[in-house]
Chain A
Amino acid sequence: MTTAVDNRTVANALSGALLLLQFPLYVWNFMRRWPVIPGLILTTLVVCSIFASQIAPHSFRKTDLRSRNVPPVWMEGGSFNRILGGDVVGRDILSRLIHGARVEMMVATISLVGGAVLGTSLGVIAGYYGGIVDELLMRLVDIWFSIPFLLFALVVTIAFEPSLRVVLILLAILAWSVFVRNIRAEVLLLKGTDYVAAARIAGASTLRLMVRHLFPGIINTMMVIASLRVGQLILAEASLSFLGAGIPAPTPAWGVMVNDGRNYLDNAWWVSTFPGIAILLTVMSFNFFGDWLRDRLDPRLRQL
């Protein structure tokens, strides 16, 4: 009797231990299937951008001369008052990062939606009508591709004064061109399918054909391109801000913050480093997420 109980206990203990050993494997497999870490980073960003004023410990624009270039809390001379250190004029870097998340998210979302709407409509039009319309639009895309974007953006911002609106428009027209090319190719394929022909015979108007029959077919492509584009938009915005043609101060754009610390590398490395890490993590998460979405929705787009 006793041996039977013992056996059962041993068996239970063993299976428990086995489960415990399998747990890391289970976590690993789960992380391979779902974008867990990018998801966490992006969630943090969204939360930060919505509740920036509540989360941030300090104001993003309040200067404090005693906190000039104060090191982060774990270094000698740092304090919890400036957790990630203070910048050149004593502003709290952490608070500026949190408020910066709001700027980056807003810029990325608005310019991406603008670019997607513009690019997709032009792509559908080019693919659907073909002929001279198609030719003109595609040549326009070619011209746009051959202009160096940063130089163009510099000229435009100098011409119209740097402002948030100019940056948004610039990034939207940076985003549209890729949509046009891919959506057009997709529409060319869809146009030849039987169901589109059937809808046309049934008397659907051009607009109805485009919106009800072509658009649902390209929405996956659009989502995939969009998710793969976000990262590039954020990088472009950061480069513009860095060159001084982006969002003007005192808005805490991450690119501006990197530039702020450039001249203090020898005594305050944290001023440039942390905003850069924020950009890196954000773009990496978006790209990873985009890859994942592409593999799920449309693996044919692997070349993008």
Chain B
Amino acid sequence: MGRFLARRALFAVITVFAATLIVFTISRLVGDPLDFLIRPEGYGVTPEAKAAISKKIGLDRPLIVQYLIWIGGVLRGDFGNTLLTEKPVIDIFFEKAPATLQLSAVAWIVATAIGVPVGVVSAVNRGGIFDYLGRAFALFGQAVPVFWLGIMAILIFSVQLDWLPSGTKGPIDASLWEQIKHFILPSLVLGWSGAASYARLTRSAMLEVMDSEFVKMARAKGVANEKVIWKHAFRNAMIPPITFSALLMAFFLSGQVVVEVVFGWPGLGRLATESVFQNDFNTLSTSVLFFAAMFAAMSFLADTLYAAVDPRIRYE
């Protein structure tokens, strides 16, 4: 078990750096990052000046050397400067990270709090009206385009009803209620598809367990229905949703780009998107490093949880 996890962790680290290497390389095919700094036909741009800047940010070296320099910096805690403003990337990163982390966390809670109960109710009432409603919810949630859901939410709750703000995180000094209001729409929109996946997963896991011998046994010896559902079935059906919850968190962190764009949310997703358009390779690589590391950490957590929750599972 320990050996398996150690091996798994090692591969996770390699995976993360491979991911950054791939994105770093492709982002360089975009064209010369210098073109964003100095316009080729700009006034007073001499080849010498261009070469000097190129040397300053290390563009004159081969790609692989540039990557190694970047990695070397990262290992020493230096993530480089942004291309245009020449501020340390790490400062901007820490400025944007809280918004993304908060939104992910809230959306994760929303998804779990809605999805799991819906799945359980759906499985318990198999074939009944609540099952149909639950399945319709899951079908809708997994099919709706997130950006469209966001736009519709703005259309209904901000434009028509004027109940909630249409975007941004709101001013920092706003009252607590004001801040919560800014969170409602983005977190619901982001969490919706996750809730649908939870509902689906929980339903099928519950159905499987409810069909097993020990549940039939419990029923046969006369255990009350509620107790069968929550104590016998639910606890055993929780294994797939628990592992899924870790992966969902990773998905929320890296997958909220669209939500951030729709709601003007000042987070890492928009930072990364903007860095793509500005060819800001240091910022882009750092974002990718963060997203990939989060993904690796969360899938590692999922594997560990899997073994921790279910004593029958042992990695050799």
Hey, which bits of chain A sit against chain B, CB under 8 A?
139, 142-143, 145-148, 150-152, 154-156, 158-160, 231, 235, 238-239, 242-243, 255, 258-259, 261-262, 265-266, 269, 272-273, 275-276, 279-280, 283-284, 287-288, 302-303
Contacts and interface: CB of A to CB of B under 8 A. Distances in A.
Interface string B281-310: 000100110011001100100000000000
B139 A288 contact: yes
Contacts of B151: 258, 261-262, 265, 272, 276
A147 B19 contact: yes
A276 B18 CA distance: 36
- The DSSP consensus for interface residues of chain B is helix
A273 B143 contact: no
Interface stretch (B53-61, B100-108, B255-263): B255-263
B145 A238 contact: yes
Interface in B13-45: 14-16, 18-19, 22-23, 26-27, 29-31
Contacts of B27: 155, 159
A158 B295 contact: no
A159 B22 contact: no
Category for how many chain B residues contact A: 35 or more
B257 A243 contact: yes
Contacts, number: 132
A265 B204 contact: no
Given A146-B16, A151-B23, A265-B154, A258 B145 contact: yes
Contacts of A275: 148
Interface string B114-156: 0000000000000000000000000110111111100110110
A145 B299 CA distance: 10
B88 interface: no
B148 A265 contact: no
B148 A279 contact: yes
B142 A156 contact: no
A147 B144 CA distance: 23
B204 A302 contact: yes
Interface stretch (B75-83, B230-238, B269-277): B269-277
The 6 A-B pairs at the shortest CB distance, nearest first, are namely A276-B148, A148-B254, A283-B143, A284-B143, A159-B29, A146-B295
A303 B257 CA distance: 27
